[in-house]
């Protein structure tokens, strides 16, 4: 049974603000929430690449996010990042680097309006897409 991810408007607004603040570089973070797919918060993280075309998390930030989520009884539901100048779809690099089949990969695009989609990626291919904005 597929569980859809629900992102409340206040969290979407946080993602948009973070993406606009960090543009023209990509920004990133985790979406935390409950096992039934309800996102409760954004866990913003630094794009240590400081690049407009790709992003990387610092491993220490990833461990801190996991510790934070566990301490609050939350799960990491999605890895998210922004595309300041391209559509809300995974790039070839995004597909190559998406190696956790238990989470979704969300992309917030500021290109030609604001769009937020999330994807389930398995074996380097999109197997499911949800539109959130």
Q: How confident is the model at residue 90, as a pLDDT?
A: 97
Q: How confident is the model at residue 8, as a pLDDT?
A: 98
Q: What pTM did the predictor assign? A: 0.95
Q: CB–CB of 76/69 below 8 Å?
A: yes
Which parts of the chain sit beneath pLDDT 50? none
> What is the distance of C-alpha 7 from the center of its chain?
11
Q: How confident is the model at residue 3, as a pLDDT?
A: 78
Could you tell me the sign of the dihedral formed by the alpha carbons of 115, 126, 39, 62, in that order?
negative
Q: How confident is the model at residue 1, as a pLDDT?
A: 61
Q: How confident is the model at residue 47, as a pLDDT?
A: 96
């Amino acid at each position: 049974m597929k569980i859809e991810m629900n992102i409340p408007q206040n969290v979407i607004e946080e993602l948009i603000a973070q993406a606009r603040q960090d543009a023209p570089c990509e920004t990133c973070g985790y979406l935390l929430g409950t096992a039934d797919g309800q996102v409760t918060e954004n866990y913003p993280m630094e794009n240590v690449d400081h690049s407009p075309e790709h992003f990387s998390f610092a491993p220490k930030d990833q461990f801190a996010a996991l510790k934070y989520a566990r301490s609050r009884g939350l799960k990491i539901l999605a890895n998210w990042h922004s595309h300041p100048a391209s559509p809300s779809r995974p790039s070839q690099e995004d597909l190559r680097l998406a190696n956790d089949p238990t989470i979704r990969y969300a992309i917030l695009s500021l290109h030609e309006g604001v769009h937020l989609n999330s994807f389930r990626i398995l074996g380097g291919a999109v197997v499911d897409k949800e539109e959130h904005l």
